[in-house]
Structure 1
Amino acid sequence: MPRTAVVVPTPDGACPATLHTPAGDGPWPGVILYPDAAGVRETFAVLADRLAGPGYAVLLPDVYYRTPYTPFDPATVFADPAERARLEALVKSVGADLADRDAGAFLDFLAAHPDVSGTGVGVTGYCMGGRLALRAAGRHPGRVAAAASFHGGNLAAEGDPDSPHLLAGRMRAAIHVAAAEADRSFPPDQHERLRRALTEAGVRHTLETYPAAHGFAVPDVPTYDADADRRHREALAALWATALHA
């Protein structure tokens, strides 16, 4: 699949990204792909290629563009205390307000790009990116038509004023959440809190729990699960076919 290095203008500077498109002539519906906490790397570029293949223009942004950093090794980062601390500090550097502004810039970029069609954008995210995807749906309800979270964490944390579930009343997108089993970042109480918030707000949604561990859809992490990965891509294809081609 063609990959094009691009720069997305944001209120806080230039965000490096890649735009992944199918072979052939567009335009195609736009998608934003948020990586996990370890950030943009080849694993996510390959995923963006695969997601673009059936007919989508997929933007993969470097969400840590404000802070220069040395790439992480997803296979060892959580076993190394120093690396884990470095990663956690980087995650905290992308606060809710900054992420929401970035989402608006990513949407503006796709809206102006000649390879992108339509007005409704799909957003998908993994781990930390799942939270960002749902926040994008809540903060930009007229522009995000579908949002998905895979093994996302802190989606409905009690006492968190930035928790995505608090934005359910603003969401107009179709929402798909696939959780991991025994995931400390998204325990049963959060699952129920999110389900209740989406149901009460009348949001079209699907909440599932895969028989797999946190990280199941990302091939370069130790907990990767090929069956869960395949299932997640099938779920995305179904979501986008319904929400992005209306």
Structure 2
Amino acid sequence: MHPGYTAVPDGDGPFPGVVVVHDAYGMTAELRRVCDHLAAQGYVVHAPSMFQGGRCLRQTFRSFVADQGPAYDRLEAERAALADRPDCTGRVGIMGFCMGGRFALVAAGRGGFDAASVNYGLLPKGKQEPAALEAMLSAPCPVVASFGDRDTVVDVAEVAKLRTGLERAGVPVDLKVYPGATHSFLAQYTGALGMLMRVQGMSHDPEASADAWARTLGFFDEHLGARA
């Protein structure tokens, strides 16, 4: 596995696996909290550091803009590494937030992962939108996605196009837009990052978060199989 953060449930397993892709803030305490929460729910989890070293940072943003490149090779390698662990069942999902949500959505369309959780993932828009959306939905796995209708980063109109594209692709999809929720409504940042989020008009929404987590875990149960 690449450098990052790994969280493992108590017990011998085997457990389903989840690759977690961080947002633009990188490997934060909030990301570790998410991984620990997933492990407590019965998943073996690894969150790779997508910004490891200057070269990886540049590669990650190039891959993000192009929806292809070394970052996606890294995510596939993480999926394979989790699947090969003796404490993993071999079924692996991917979960991402904001920038990581876009990575999760594109990776989900490549046919390797068994399920994807896309949380306020950045979506294609403008002139590139039709071709980009079609490419990322070429071979999608089941997708559970959560957005807020007060998101000033992701256009709700693009979310509707994503829903239509996933339904047209014929895969299981659970997509919900939460009234009153902002971008990053699942995150519980504190300190300087929490203050920055508030300045940007983003806030944690406990009610929407609880529902989104319940939907995500139920969806993963269905498509990744048994967990502790």
CA–CA distance in structure 2, aligned partners of residues 90 and 218 of structure 1: 25
Q: CA deviation at 1:61?
A: 1.0
| Aligned residue number for residue 214 of structure 2 | 234
Three-state SS of the structure 2 residue aligned to 1:64 is coil
Which consecutive residues of structure 2, in runs of 5 or more, have no partner in the other structure?
none
Q: Number of matched residues? A: 210
Q: What does 1:101-116 align with in structure 2 at a 5 Å threshold?
A: 101-116=73-88
- TM-score normalised to the size of structure 2? 0.83
2:60 and 2:70 in contact (8 A); partners too:
no
Post-superposition, which runs of at least 4 consecutive aligned residues in structure 1 deviate over 6 A?
none
| Aligned residue number for residue 42 of structure 1 | 29
Percent of matched pairs sharing the same residue: 29
**2:71 counterpart of 1:63:** no
2:18 and 2:44 in contact (8 A); partners too:
yes
**2:18 counterpart of 1:31:** yes
Q: What does 1:171-186 align with in structure 2 at a 5 Å threshold?
A: 171=140, 173-186=141-154
| Aligned residue number for residue 75 of structure 1 | none
2:60 and 2:71 in contact (8 A); partners too:
no
CA–CA distance in structure 1, aligned partners of residues 80 and 108 of structure 2: 14
Letter in 1 for 2:167: T
Q: CA deviation at 1:228?
A: 2.0
Which consecutive residues of structure 1, in runs of 5 or more, have no partner in the other structure?
1-7, 9-14, 70-86
| Aligned residue number for residue 41 of structure 2 | 54
- TM-score normalised to the size of structure 1? 0.77
Q: Structure 1 or 2: larger helix share?
A: 2
CA–CA distance in structure 1, aligned partners of residues 51 and 44 of structure 2: 22
Structure with the larger RCO, 1 or 2 (CA within 8 Å, 6+ apart): 2
Q: 1:134 aligns with which of 105, 120, 123?
A: 105
Q: CA deviation at 1:209?
A: 0.6
| Aligned residue number for residue 70 of structure 2 | 98
Q: CA deviation at 1:68?
A: 7.7
2:18 and 2:46 in contact (8 A); partners too:
yes
Letter in 2 for 1:17: G
Q: CA deviation at 1:63?
A: 0.9
Three-state SS of the structure 2 residue aligned to 1:122 is strand
Q: Structure 1 or 2: larger strand share?
A: 1
CA–CA distance in structure 2, aligned partners of residues 134 and 152 of structure 1: 8
CA–CA distance in structure 2, aligned partners of residues 207 and 228 of structure 1: 13
| Aligned residue number for residue 214 of structure 1 | 183
2:16 and 2:43 in contact (8 A); partners too:
yes
CA–CA distance in structure 1, aligned partners of residues 207 and 167 of structure 2: 29
